[in-house]
Structure 1
């Protein structure tokens, strides 16, 4: 039986004298265990990769979060040192990856920076350093070297009734973590708001194509998928969408596709 494969975005980092294209294991574990599919990291080669050909051979895409922010030049604004760090190599690859995946109708799950990339890829804009804006909460991670403290559940979000996310988590309100300085400003055409924080920050979005799974969340379900019901449900729903896509692509829509 065929096990689905999904592309997962990576960051570019300098360490130990090398230039790494990598992603944290928390995402890999969540995709493999929580969604039941195999993650395949995509190096950030920009237009040096035949994305169309590559997307023909995979069954879904996960856009990961990152400490870096989307460079403002990608949505028509000027950069600021206060908004660093940036990862321009990731931008050059990930934005085209999102567009290509949506054009192919692949299931897409976008997390934190990944949701921001999704919005930018479709023509939206971002607000930077939102903790400095009037009336906004501080959505940054608490200062700590302990990951469990940084990723701790911190606030609730209101889930749009009848939306994609509502159907997944089966609740009008869920509690989430928060580790970001950027957020959606102008919502991209074709995206719908699925959840908001108390200060109005857009916390989740979906796409308008009912036949293609597209969900973006501003928080990090990958960190708590083993213990948090909503996080587990999001990963599981993505896994179901990926297996259904693979079955349709193989011309066997009724077939049960193996999980890892």
Structure 2
């Protein structure tokens, strides 16, 4: 195999009496078409998963977005029906996966819930229902049956100069989509903000002085990877990082 192998996080969905471990096709297609890599879904089986064994075989981790939220009890909050739904099996798998991937220097690309998981995994907190907070915009998706409408480009972000994100997208403002009602609160250990929305909402983070490639976005570049320049650049950069890591892992570099 010459293409990098990307571990993709999974939601747990009850269907037909079974618990299905699944990831949306948009993420899988973005890995194939945008990163020129092969996606493999990691089931959310918590402690039954040998995380180091899994990371031994792969060249990157993609933490996907989801309708579910990280359980607030994991960052000192209170779980409520209004803040749900929750996915405890995913929490129990993805948080330790991200921590270990960072420790080992495995390239990480975390999107929406994935960025929030990364923050919680490193000791940070989340803000819930930010549309109800004074001074914050409504970052939720438009109500529509059409995905193109829900994922439409919605607002600009300001990118921090001389940041890892600026190396990929440049330092000029970029327009992104918006489909979230939570945001990062207190930053986790070693995280640094690399982009914000006009209302101050954190839109992207990276890791300070980390051993590997780490980029996390609150928006959804996977949806427009076939047509949007910034989305293409993000997945191409992730693929390049995974190829470089693969070369080192296999002793080819």
What TM-score do you get using the length of structure 2 for normalisation?
0.98
Unmatched segments (≥5 aa) in structure 1: 254-260
Could you say which residue in structure 1 is the equivalent of 2:80?
80
Q: Secondary structure at the match of 2:157?
A: strand
C-alpha separation in 2, matches of 1:80 and 1:21:
24
Q: Secondary structure at the match of 1:221?
A: coil
CA contact (8 A) 2:119 2:187 kept: yes
CA contact (8 A) 2:169 2:233 kept: yes
Per the TM alignment, residue 61 of structure 1 is displaced from its structure 2 partner at its CA by: 0.2
Please report the RMSD computed on the Cα atoms of aligned residues, expressed in angstroms: 1.0
C-alpha separation in 1, matches of 2:211 and 2:41:
25
Could you say which residue in structure 2 is the equivalent of 1:54?
54
C-alpha separation in 1, matches of 2:193 and 2:184:
10
CA distance 1:171–1:229, shift in 2 (3 Å): farther
C-alpha separation in 2, matches of 1:177 and 1:99:
27
1:135 equivalent to 2:135? Answer: yes
C-alpha separation in 2, matches of 1:64 and 1:231:
15
C-alpha offsets along residues 206-259 of structure 1, whole Å, 9 cap, x if unaligned?
011354100000000000011110000000000000000000112221xxxxxx
C-alpha separation in 1, matches of 2:164 and 2:232:
15
C-alpha offsets along residues 110-163 of structure 1, whole Å, 9 cap, x if unaligned?
000000000000010000011111110111111111111110000000000111
Q: How many residues align?
A: 253
Q: Secondary structure at the match of 1:82?
A: coil
Deviates more, 1:233-242 or 1:78-87: 78-87
Per the TM alignment, residue 16 of structure 1 is displaced from its structure 2 partner at its CA by: 2.7
C-alpha separation in 2, matches of 1:188 and 1:24:
27
Could you say which residue in structure 2 is the equivalent of 1:258?
none
C-alpha separation in 1, matches of 2:134 and 2:170:
32
Unmatched segments (≥5 aa) in structure 2: none
1:251 equivalent to 2:231? Answer: no
Matches within 5 A, 1:84-233: 84-209=84-209, 211-233=211-233
Per the TM alignment, residue 15 of structure 1 is displaced from its structure 2 partner at its CA by: 1.9
Could you say which residue in structure 2 is the equivalent of 1:236?
236
1:8 equivalent to 2:8? Answer: yes
